[in-house]
Structure 1
Amino acid sequence: MKFVATGDWQLGMTAHFLDDEARPQFQRARFDAVERIAEVVAEHDARFVVACGDVFESNQLDRRVIAQAFDALRAFDVPVVLVPGNHDPLDASSIYDSHRFIGGMPDHIHVLRSSEPHEVVPGVEVIGAPWSSKRPQRDLMAAAVEGREPAPDGVVRILAGHGAVSTLSPDPDDPAVVEVSDLQRTLADGIIHAAVLGDRHSTTEVADRIWYPGAPEVTSRDEIDPGNVLVMDVAPDRCEVEKVNIGRWAFTVVGEELDSVEDVEVLRRRLQGMDAKSRTAVWLRLSGTLSTAAHARLQEVLDEASELFAKLDAWERHTDLAVMPEDADFEALGLTGFARQALDDLESAARGEGNHSDADVGAAQDALALLYRFAGGVR
């Protein structure tokens, strides 16, 4: 029985870190990803879809987000099962209980509000572990199958939930952590035949028959393998999984050691060679020591590249780039009078001479690069 496992759509994600031009494109891309999931369903002849939590970014969203979500979901001609997660729990303000959601929800969309087995198609049950608050006080996956008998003969049963598993959780004392050994025991007893979870945005095989499909579009630079859905073919005696990439956006960290103009040119070519720049956010980790001339060239390269990428950011916390003025940098510029005096003062500050703070040194180095460029030092 083939189905598509997905999660963490986070429709309505604001992405404050993007500029005003890129942000709407990133928001729209999340709805486009939902429509691409429908294409995967058709291509693989899947019978249904399970979305494991965080379908929406929060319970407080503009009605336009709900309308766009329903428009994207109309692309499916199979049942789509939604399991509320920590971003969109079934609490008092649940988006799933809003008048606009209830009134406009397409018939093939099913929100799992309890852990009662839901027959999604004949011969297949989905047991959901929906979140009813942002801070559950127990393992919801374990609670969903507690006391259950093995699946009836001829029935495939899928457990779908959300949260961190014990083998990957950064907080083992969190009462909501999903205990992997309990899931494995439930699988061995035939109570379920596969478990899928949301919350981890990178596609991950936790253990045999236990998977995170990951987010269909990247949301953070820390994600290892986002942008996928899983096509799962599950039966009592087998579980075959195919990862399908549908993401269009990329978040990339670019690290470079820069000690010369030639190194800056290597960085320029690296940025120039990247694809889909308007859908790519880049964080730069730069280190090394540059002359004023090389630093000015770097600023020019970054200014040009920033007009092409969705985001281009010198990651301050991971950047250790020193600028050391060299006399040869300004010799050919012929500066005299007030400009020469300003140059001498800036060079002194940029070298850290006198009573200057780190902020003063950095500002002086940036000012030298600007002076160099304005004086015609960059060709």
Structure 2
Amino acid sequence: MTSLKTLIGSNGPAGGAAPTTRARGGTVAPSVTGVRFLHTSDWQLGMTRHFLQGEAQARYAGARLDAVRALGALARDRRCDFVLVAGDVFDSNLLSSQTVRRTLDVLGAIEAPVYLLPGNHDAYNAATIYRSPVFRRECPPNVHVLAATGGTPVAPGVELLAAPLLSNAPLTDPTAEVLADLAADGTRRILVGHGQIDVLAPESPGPSAIRLAALEAAIEAGSVHYVALGDRHSRLSVGGTGRVHYSGSPEVTDFRDTAAGEVLVVDLAADGSVSTEAVRVGRWRFLDWTHDIANGDDIATLDAELAAVADADRTVVRHALVGTLSLADNAALYDVLNRHADRLAGCFPWDAYTDLVVCCGEDDLAALPAGGYLGAAVAQLRRGAAADATAGDALALLYRLARTEAR
């Protein structure tokens, strides 16, 4: 087993599975045996989310580490030869020693070698977390940092071809160097990189974009047999070979994630053929909801749908509500959303798509002050509420306060 020092020195709970896919092309001369490994990426341990409050943030941080425990158990149950993390193990190079130590404890409990590739969040630069005293001193013997560009043998006839990021903002394709002059010599190679592939942003790929054509040429030539990528937080197969994959993050990170919370179990056979299986290990969900709200019936429907959310304490709902409400209905909606915010890990408005107008009808006036300074304020706010959202919000707040006082 290659030691941590060699790799960074001078030479540089499981859920249901998706259908298995098998890749084409890229065969090699027969080797001793096939290998099975677990491809994952973008753990971003230490990540915080601005929309999570208090204890929910702490539970979410714990859930990201729990996802690593789950993939370790999956690697054991599926008898994986190793775990390969394609970048962004950590959310930053500037994390607490507590985060590093807890991560190393979890990695040390995985019953297989674990290979970590530095990504853009935890680049192998002068400030890298991988050179920190805590990491170097307490790194378990089964954990290896792929800090040097080039090959690392992991099994007879099998090599990891690492393209670590040495900067948070690279200026060139990080895989170009390892692909240069690569011979198809019978070695089964797993290229591991981190970054966006050019075809996913064809209008502005940028200088650091990974060139899909170069990857597919190496696969066609038989010098590379699987490409393990990180950076995208949703699982994705790219191109037509079936051998270029983003694993996605093992726990959801954003509302735009479409296939997060999964890892890939990869079989690389002795003849170079490849099959992949996606397995869910994450437990959290970030949901976008849009609703038209016009009356009490619509509010009751929303209430029932929120009440039916499973695993509420691990679910975040970002809602976009559109409609016109009376002050009474708006107060009822406020109560519903506040009640479910206590149950859910998060429940908050999607400001860019929320368009609620609050109008003061004749029935609402009975609950509002009619005389004195407050009565004058109500009259002024009522006149401005139709055109001014701030006035409408103030009127709604005044209504809720008056209703509370009446109780």
Q: CA separation of 1:346/1:358 partners in 2, compared to 1, >3 Å: closer, same or farther?
A: closer
1:364 is matched with which residue? 395
2:123 is matched with which residue? 89
User: Which AA in structure 1 matches 2:337?
Assistant: L
Provide the secondary structure at the position in 2 that maps to 1:117: strand
| One of 195, 198, 219 as aligned partner of 2:227 | 195
Contact 2:324 2:357 in 1 (8 A): yes
2:337 is matched with which residue? 302
Q: CA separation of 1:361/1:117 partners in 2, compared to 1, >3 Å: closer, same or farther?
A: same
User: Which AA in structure 1 matches 2:194?
Assistant: H
**1:108-140 CA-partner distances (Å, limit 9, x unpaired):** 111111222111233321111100011222111
2:65 counterpart of 1:11: no
The aligned runs of 1:245-264 (5 Å cut-off) are 245-264=280-299
Q: CA deviation at 1:173?
A: 4.4
Contact 2:237 2:244 in 1 (8 A): yes
The aligned runs of 1:1-379 (5 Å cut-off) are 1-152=35-186, 155-169=187-201, 172-207=204-239, 208-235=242-269, 236-331=271-366, 333=367, 337-338=371-372, 343-352=378-387, 357-375=388-406
Provide the secondary structure at the position in 2 that maps to 1:222: coil
Q: CA deviation at 1:80?
A: 0.6
User: Which AA in structure 2 matches 1:206?
Assistant: V
User: Which AA in structure 2 matches 1:4?
Assistant: L
Give the total of aligned pairs. 369
Contact 1:293 1:372 in 2 (8 A): no
RCO comparison, higher one (Cα < 8 Å, 6+) = 2
User: Which AA in structure 1 matches 2:80?
Assistant: A
TM, length-normalised to structure 1: 0.92
Contact 1:19 1:311 in 2 (8 A): yes
Q: Using the alignment, how far apart are the partners of 2:272 and 2:156 within structure 1?
A: 18
Provide the secondary structure at the position in 2 that maps to 1:363: helix
Contact 1:296 1:370 in 2 (8 A): no
Q: CA deviation at 1:350?
A: 2.3
Q: Using the alignment, how far apart are the partners of 1:11 and 1:334 within structure 2?
A: 50
Moved more, 80-89 or 270-279: 270-279
Provide the secondary structure at the position in 1 that maps to 2:92: coil
Provide the secondary structure at the position in 1 that maps to 2:265: strand
Q: Using the alignment, how far apart are the partners of 1:367 and 1:21 within structure 2?
A: 31
Q: CA separation of 1:343/1:135 partners in 2, compared to 1, >3 Å: closer, same or farther?
A: closer
Structure 2 unaligned residues grouped into runs of 5+? 1-34
Q: CA separation of 1:347/1:43 partners in 2, compared to 1, >3 Å: closer, same or farther?
A: same
Q: CA separation of 1:334/1:111 partners in 2, compared to 1, >3 Å: closer, same or farther?
A: closer
User: Which AA in structure 1 matches 2:135?
Assistant: F
Structure 1 unaligned residues grouped into runs of 5+? none
TM, length-normalised to structure 2: 0.86
User: Which AA in structure 2 matches 1:11?
Assistant: L
Contact 1:346 1:368 in 2 (8 A): no
Provide the secondary structure at the position in 2 that maps to 1:297: helix
Contact 2:368 2:378 in 1 (8 A): no
What RMSD, in angstroms, separates the aligned Cα atoms of the two structures? Answer: 1.8
Moved more, 219-228 or 167-176: 167-176
